[in-house]
């Protein structure tokens, strides 16, 4: 019998890549997604890569009765990876209540049912936004969690606090929170990738859509930051590397290798790249000239952040492998495929 893993938000960007890695490591995957920011065709991509079509349930995790019915139907779950959440920083600033409602209620519904139905292990999709603008770089796991710069970041902080409080009174439950930096790129087969609805909020889809002629120009938010070229610096991590970290975390929990019942790890490459460096690297590997313009800073954005990955490398036993250039090339190959560009 294969161990059965629930992946919430499993047709989303990181969720779909993680589902592939889980299947390839011999797990049985069940996906819940409401398809608010993804499409059912993603299941075709997962199946093309792995030869397996995961079980799929479409509903909103904020609906408590539907969550309970799901757990009554799937009684063999060994662990949950929880991705399902709204995730756009700018949108969260404009619509904070929507973010608090969606991201927190869904988590609490899962935790309640985990307890009731005896599912003991959770991997939580967290974010480096919990650190705000850190005092020291690179960011270690010991860095203080600061007041969030956006409601989105705050939902990740509050989610971790909810999980931590719950773990204290439920010693039989275990959680690993993975604090990611900035996931980019696509699967090497180009069968799955990042497919934002409407105007992208993240840099790389905006870059690839601009190169594909879908966007007139790329907006670079700010060139007056205290960074080498004035543009904001992030730690861009390949999505397949990131997905593999979730499999490592699941293995750690199922093999009872965790040191406490609430652990957290920073997932990045350990290298910061500026927005303008990403633009130049993309132009270099793809031979595309990007039309971009500098505009004002964006509300909620922090100046610079990159990960200290030693704990993830040494304790979790995971390391990012893929280069920025290879990752940007994978993103462009995916964009070309979905747009029919030769």
CB 278 within 8 A of CB 207: yes
Closest CA to 219 of 232, 235, 228, 229: 232
Q: Could you give the CA distance from residue 341 to residue 275 in angstroms, rounded to a whole number? A: 25
Closest CA to 289 of 219, 212, 342: 212
- Residue 31: count other Cβ atoms within 10 Å of its Cβ: 25
Which of 13, 152, 180, 236 is flagged as catalytic?
152
Please report, for residues 24, 48, 103, 246, the alpha-carbon distance to residue 51 in angstroms, rounded to integers and kept in the order given: 10, 6, 32, 21
Pairing of strands 262-267, 174-180: parallel
Pairing of strands 236-238, 55-57: unpaired
Q: Could you give the CA distance from residue 268 to residue 288 in angstroms, rounded to a whole number? A: 27
Catalytic residue at 152?
yes
Which residues are the active-site residues?
152
């Amino acid at each position: 019998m294969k161990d059965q893993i629930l992946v919430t938000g499993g047709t989303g960007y990181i969720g779909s890549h993680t589902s592939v890695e889980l299947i390839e490591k011999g797990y049985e995957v069940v996906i819940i997604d409401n398809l608010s920011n993804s499409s059912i065709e993603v299941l075709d991509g997962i199946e093309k890569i792995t030869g397996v079509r995961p079980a799929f349930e479409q509903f909103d995790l904020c609906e408590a009765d539907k969550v309970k019915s799901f757990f009554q139907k799937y009684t063999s779950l060994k662990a949950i990876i929880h991705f399902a959440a709204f995730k756009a920083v700018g949108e969260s600033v404009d619509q904070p209540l929507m973010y608090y409602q969606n991201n927190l209620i869904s988590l609490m519904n899962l935790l309640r049912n985990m307890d009731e139905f005896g599912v003991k292990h959770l991997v939580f999709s967290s974010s480096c936004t919990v650190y705000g603008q850190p005092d020291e770089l690179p960011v270690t796991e010991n860095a203080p969690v600061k007041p969030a710069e956006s409601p989105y970041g705050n939902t990740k902080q509050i989610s971790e606090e909810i999980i931590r409080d719950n773990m204290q009174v439920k010693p039989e439950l275990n959680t690993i929170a993975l604090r990611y930096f900035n996931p980019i790129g696509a699967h090497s087969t180009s069968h799955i990738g990042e497919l934002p609805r409407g105007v992208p909020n993240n840099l790389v889809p905006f870059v690839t859509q601009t190169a594909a002629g879908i966007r007139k120009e790329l907006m670079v938010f700010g060139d007056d930051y205290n960074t080498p070229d004035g543009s904001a610096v992030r730690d861009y991590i390949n999505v397949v590397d990131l997905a593999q970290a979730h499999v490592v975390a699941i293995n750690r929990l199922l093999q009872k290798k965790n040191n406490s019942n609430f652990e957290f790890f920073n997932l990045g490459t350990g290298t910061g790249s500026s927005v303008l460096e990403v633009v130049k690297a993309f132009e270099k590997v793809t031979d595309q000239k990007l039309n971009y313009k500098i505009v004002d800073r964006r509300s909620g954005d922090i100046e610079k952040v990159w990960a200290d990955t030693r704990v993830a490398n040494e304790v979790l036993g995971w390391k990012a492998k893929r280069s920025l250039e290879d990752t940007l090339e994978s993103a462009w190959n995916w964009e070309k495929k979905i747009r029919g560009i030769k």
